Each structure stands twice: as C-alpha cells, then as structure tokens.
C-alpha cells in the first residue's frame, strides 16, 4: 500500500468516526461506561478532531498526485 492509499483509507475511517460522533450528538444517544455517563461535549470535541484529521488525510492524499513546482 502506497502513501496515497494510506491517506485515503485513513481519511475514510476518520470520516466514519466523525459521522458516528455527529449522529450521537444529533440523536442524543447516551454512552455509559460502568457507572459513568460520557458527557455530550466529549462527542462534540471528538467530532471536531476526527473531522480535522479526515480532512488533513484526504487533502494530503490528493496533493500527492500534483507535480512539484
């Protein structure tokens, strides 16, 4: 697997993670770990971070095709 493929696959999986967090926020799903309920702001922050990582990976993958000037 080349670096371009790695970037595209990474961007895809980070996009899926971002979508999962966004759906949790939209539908108000709760997550409970033992006796602790995970606050909603954790998913908001995870959505922002995973979206940023997805965009970074996809932009990096698309820039690898361009010839260097």
pLDDT tens-digit series, residues 5-38 = 999 999 999 999 999 999 999 999 999 999 999 9
Q: What are 54's two structure tokens? A: 């997805």
Mean residue pLDDT across the chain: 93
CA distance 55 to 61: 10
> Looking at the domain assignment, is residue 69 inside a domain?
no
Q: What is the model's pTM?
A: 0.85
> Looking at the domain assignment, is residue 17 inside a domain?
yes
pLDDT reported for residue 67: 67
> Looking at the domain assignment, is residue 9 inside a domain?
yes
Q: What are 25's two structure tokens? A: 């926020």
The fraction of the chain above a pLDDT of 70, given in percent, is: 93
Domain containing residue 58:
3-63
pLDDT category at 63 given cuts 50, 70, 90 is confident
> Looking at the domain assignment, is residue 68 inside a domain?
no
């Amino acid at each position: 697997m080349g670096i371009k493929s790695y970037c595209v696959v990474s961007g895809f999986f980070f996009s899926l993670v971002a979508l999962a967090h966004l759906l949790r926020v939209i539908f108000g799903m709760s997550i409970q770990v033992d006796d602790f309920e995970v606050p909603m702001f954790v998913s908001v922050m995870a959505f922002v971070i995973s979206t940023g990582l997805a965009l970074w990976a996809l932009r990096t993958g698309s820039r690898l095709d361009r010839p260097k000037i």
